[in-house]
Structures are given as structure tokens and as C-alpha cells.
Amino acid sequence: MDTIFFRLTELLEQWLARIGRPDFTSPWLGPFSGADLCVVAIYLTLTVLVNAAIALLLHTKRKAAINAAKPGWHSNAYRMLGKPVYVLVWVYGAYLAATPILIKLRPEQGLTTFRHAMDLLLEFGVFIAVIWFLFRATRVLDSRLAVWAARTPSKSDDFLVPLVGTALRATALVLGLILGLPTLDIPSKYASAVSKVSSICLIVVATLLIFRAIGILQNVVLTRYDMTAADNLRARRVHTLVRVISRISYATTGALAVGAALMLFPEVRHVGVSLLASAGIVGVIGGFAAQKTLANMFAGFQIAFAQPVRQDDVVVVEGEWGRVEEITLTNVIVHIWDDRRLILPLSYFIEKPFQNWTRTTSVITGVVYIWVDYSFPVDAARTALREIVETNPLWDRRFWNLQVSDANDRAIQLRVLATSTDSSKSWDFRCAIREELIAFIQQSHPQSFPLVRGRLDGQCRPGT
């Protein structure tokens, strides 16, 4: 390629010398003649013209593809070609414009340095143009896959298409590093550092790709199970399992990536060998120090598979009623009814008792207690309760009941049982039953509220 450029430059200079003034070949600027400067201007002008012609051609083709009856991938393909081709044209144009300088410079005038810089510019420019083209090609393919996914009834495609696009772009970057770095002719003293940097970049790209895959697969699974359904037991099981496993996968992948990056440095490997040599002492100390951490880790596995508590479960822990908001690698966050958050270690739900109101189903039986006088007619209360319960939309139409559950020397206790679809509705339902029963007693039997009775025997003596 250099020989062709140099031969073309010599022919242009000879032609300009024949048609120009007699002094056109004599030095004008240092060792460079007027013919040399004209050749540089010709190459730069030619570069601008070629760039403009390519831009006009691609614009015309793209406009025609957009206005077609059935526009396809052609419009995106023409847009994809544009900028990488412009970069390629300018890189070769700059190299052509430098050939008169390369021909006239002598070694003592910096020829070697300038030639190396121009060769590096050419190689790096071609490398950037190719990588950019591959990235833009993956964008076009990604958009075409998105159009295809939008036409399919499955929602899984909407999540998998971005993963394919990310994988393609990562592959383009990896291939660019693998194939492009050897062509840059990097000096040997920097080769080791560049090799380590490129290896770390590959590890980071692979790690991010795995992270993206884990996140997308998590979303694909979770979108199939609706947490807002009335009976969401299976959804809560799947959400808990998938979220815990995904977090463990994130942590494991990150740890492996950091380990792989550190193993690229011999110094770190020597430290690792030294640590392994003293594994007896370090193991004992690490065992005591990481006891809680390991307990939480194994508790996480138990919660993920045995599932004593799940995402969105209604629980009573430490005397507080709340809903499981999030399960992390170390903690369970319970959203308490008054908007406080109770944060408990994972091991708490393995080692200590707690109430889970949605372990097998979300339906629940609510209880209301009311104390009344012995004179209160219980059958009238049952009749009133029937109307209260059966007209309330919070009742799930499974069961209700009223019984005398206790008595003491002053009053009797009425216990009302009524079912609802979940604990939140049950709370509102119980409050409504309590309010309406009290209103019924006030209106129909106000004398039947608990009374304090007393009896006085004998007569009052004078003066007392």
C-alpha cells in the first residue's frame, strides 16, 4: 500500500512540475517544494469530495428505501455505513496527504518518527472504523429483532432481544480487541501492560454480559407470575426463589471476575500462595470471623428453597405486623403497617419462631371480641351480624360465626369470626364489624353494655 501511495505521489509531482513554473520543484517551505504542497492540497480536496459523494449517495439510497412501499432493513443499513465509512475515507486521505512529506524527509529530520506516527494513525483509524461499523451493525440487527419480537405474542422475546443485542455488541468488542491489537504493532515494553489491560477489559465485558443475562432471565421468569393477584401464593414462591438465586448469582459472578482479574498479576498469585501456606491459622481465624456471614449465606439457601418466608408474605415478627418487602443476600426487610422498616438477618427466620399469615394461602379468618351484659340477646346479635357481614364487599363468602366465648362476674364475651381474602381486607372488615355491632347495641339494646352492679343492705344510721 505504501508503494502505491508513493508512486502515485511521484507521478502527481512530475505532472505538476511539467505544467507549473520552472521554480515549482525548488524548495518553498523547508525541504518541500511547491509541487509537494500542491499534492497535499489535491489529496485533501479529493478526500473532501469523496466524503461528500459517499454522503450524498448514502442519503439518496436511504431516502429511497424509506419511501419504498415496503421499507425494510436497507434504510438502517445505509445509515449504519455512513460514519464508519467517513472515518475510513479521512484516515486514508490524511495518510495520502502525508506521503509527500514522507518522501522528502530524511532520517535525521524525523522521518522514522513521522512515518511510525502515520502508520499508527492508519492502523488505529482502520481499527476504530471497523469496530464502529460492527457496533452499528449490531444496532441495526437489534432493531430488526425488536420489530420481530413486537409481532410475536410472547413477552419473553421483549426481554431476550436486548440480551441478544448486548451479546452481539460484546462479541464485536471482544473480536475487535483480539484481532485489532496485534495489528497496532505495540512496542514490546508496553506489550505486557496492554495484554493485561485487554484481558481485564474482556473479563469486565464478560461479567457485564452475564449480569445482563441474569437480570433479563429474572425478568422473563417474574413477568409470568403476577404478584398483584388475590391468591398469589405461587407467584410469591417463584419471586422469592428467583430473587435470592439471582442475587447469589450476581455475587458469585462478581467474585469470580475479581478473582480472575487479580490472577493476571503474578504478585497477587504469590500472596495467594503465602496465604494458602498458612491456611491452618487463617482458616481458624476466618472461620470465627465469618461465622455470621456463613450462617446468613446458608440461611439464604434455605429460604430460597424451603421458603419459610417469601416475598410479599404477611408476617408478625418481634411483635410487629408487616409485609416482606425485600429479601437480600444478608437481610429480610419487613415493611411494617405504619411505614417503618424492620430489618432482620436471614438467620432470624431459620432460628426463631415468627408468624407467617400467608404461608399456604392469603385467605384469613378475622376475629372480633365484644363484651356485653348478661341481659343481651345473642340471637338478635346473630341476626344483625348476618346483615352486617353479608352486605360487606370485604367478606369472601366463605364463613362467619358468632359465639359466646367467655364470661366473668360482670359480662359475657362475644366472639365474631369472619373470613376475607387477605390480611389487609380482614383488618378493615374487622373494624367495620366492630363499629356496626357497637352501633346496633347502642340503638337497639343500650342497656346491655357491661354494667357494674351493687347492693346495699340495712338502713343508714343517723349522723352517717
What is the reported pTM? Answer: 0.47
User: What pLDDT does residue 450 have?
Assistant: 85
Interval 275-280 mean pLDDT? 45
Residue 342 CB: number of other CB atoms within 10 A?
A: 16
Rounded percentage of the chain residues whose pLDDT exceeds 70 = 62
- 384: closest CA among 427, 424, 416, 421? 416
Rounded percentage of the chain residues whose pLDDT exceeds 90 = 16
Question: How confident is the model over 349-404, as pLDDT tens digits?
Answer: 888 889 888 877 778 889 999 999 998 999 999 999 999 999 999 998 898 999 99
- Which range has the top average pLDDT, 33-37, 118-122, 249-253, 266-270? 249-253
pLDDT-based confidence at residue 163 (cuts at 50, 70, 90): low
pLDDT at 285 over 80: no
User: Comparing 283 with 428, which gets the higher pLDDT?
Assistant: 428
Q: What is the DSSP string of 198-220?
A: HHHHHHHHHHHHHHHHHHHHHHH
| CA pair distance 165, 131, nearest whole angstrom | 15
pLDDT-based confidence at residue 284 (cuts at 50, 70, 90): very low
User: Comparing 363 with 188, which gets the higher pLDDT?
Assistant: 363
- 136: closest CA among 175, 163, 169, 90? 169
User: Comparing 41 with 71, which gets the higher pLDDT?
Assistant: 41
CB 264 within 8 A of CB 312: no
User: What pLDDT does residue 278 have?
Assistant: 47
CA angle 125, 131, 136 (to 5 degrees): 120
User: Comparing 365 with 464, which gets the higher pLDDT?
Assistant: 365
Q: For 393, list phi and psi in degrees, rounded to 5.
A: -70, -10
Conformation bin of residue 318: beta by default, left when phi > 0, alpha when psi is -120 to 50 = left
User: What pLDDT does residue 242 have?
Assistant: 81
**Cα 403 off chain centre by:** 54
Interval 183-206 mean pLDDT? 71
Interval 14-40 mean pLDDT? 62
| CA pair distance 443, 448, nearest whole angstrom | 11
For 6-15, 250-259, 326-335, which range has the lowest pLDDT when averaged over its residues? 6-15
pLDDT at 73 over 60: no
Residue 343 CB: number of other CB atoms within 10 A?
A: 13
Conformation bin of residue 311: beta by default, left when phi > 0, alpha when psi is -120 to 50 = beta
Domains identified in the chain and CATH numbers: 2-189+210-228 (no CATH), 241-356 (2.30.30.60), 364-448 (3.30.70.100)
In this structure, the chain runs to a length of 464
Q: Which three-class secondary structure state does DSSP give residue 356?
A: strand
User: What pLDDT does residue 326 have?
Assistant: 85
- 304: closest CA among 329, 321, 341? 329
User: Comparing 456 with 381, which gets the higher pLDDT?
Assistant: 381
User: Comparing 4 with 253, which gets the higher pLDDT?
Assistant: 253
Residue 37 CB: number of other CB atoms within 10 A?
A: 15
User: What pLDDT does residue 71 have?
Assistant: 52
Q: What is the DSSP string of 298-310?
A: HHHHHHHHT-SS-
Q: For 407, list phi and psi in degrees, rounded to 5.
A: -155, 145
- 99: closest CA among 49, 169, 44, 25? 44
User: Comparing 418 with 139, which gets the higher pLDDT?
Assistant: 418
Place of cell 506521503: 99
CB 328 within 8 A of CB 247: yes
For the chain, give the longest Cα–Cα distance. 155
Rounded to the nearest integer, the mean pLDDT of the chain is: 75
- Which range has the top average pLDDT, 54-63, 76-85, 118-127, 328-337? 328-337
Q: Which pairing describes strands 355-356 and 27-29: parallel, antiparallel, or unpaired?
A: unpaired
Interval 10-27 mean pLDDT? 60
